[in-house]
Amino acid sequence: MSWVAAELLAFCRWCNGSFFGHGIRDSVWLFPFVEIFHLLALGLLGGTVVILNMSLLGLRFRGEPVAALAREVRPWMIGSIVVMLVSGFLLFSTEAVKMYGSPAFQFKMASLALALLFTFTVHRRVTMLEEARIGAVWPKLAAVVSILLWTAVALGGRAIGYVPSSGAGGVGG
C-alpha cells in the first residue's frame, strides 16, 4: 500500500470513529436530517449551474450580461457548495472506510475536485469577461464542460448506493 493510500485509510478510520461518525450513524433521525441539507444544497447548486450555463450558451437570459448574472448567482452557488461540503463530510464520516473502497465514491470525489477547480478558475474567468474579448466559442465550451463536470459529480453520488464497494483492502471499519 502506498503512503498516500495508507494516510487516506487512516483518515477514513478516524472519520468512522469520530464524534460525527458515531453520532450520525447511531442516530435514527440525524443521517436523514443531514442528507436533506445535502440534497437541498445539491438542488440549489444545480439550479445556479443550469441558469448560468444556459446564459453562456445563449439559450436564456439574453437581455442580461452574463457577468451580472454570474455576480447574482455566485453567493447562492458558493453557499450551496459550502453546505454540500460540510454535509457531505458528515455523511461520509458515517461510512468512511466503506467509501474508501467505493469506485463510485472515488469517481464522485475526482469529479468534484475537477468541477470545483474548473468552476473557480476557467468558468469564473469566462463568466466575468465580455464575449467580445474572448470570442463566442469559449463561453459555450466552458458551459458544456461545467455541465458535464457537475453532472458527473451528481451521477457519481447517485451511483454510490448501487456500485459495490471493494472494501478497504480487507480492512474492517
pLDDT at position 1 is 66
pTM of the entire predicted model? 0.85
84 with 41: CB under 8 angstroms?
yes
Q: Which residue has the cell 457548495?
A: 81
pLDDT at residue number 145 = 96
Q: Which has the minimum average pLDDT: 73-77, 117-121, 129-133?
A: 129-133
Instruction: List the domain boundaries for the chain.
Output: 12-159
**What pLDDT, in 10s, does the model give residues 34-77?**
999 999 999 999 999 999 999 888 887 777 788 888 999 999 99
pLDDT at 173: 39
What are the distances in angstroms from CA 125 to CA 34, 54, 130, 145? Answer: 33, 16, 10, 14
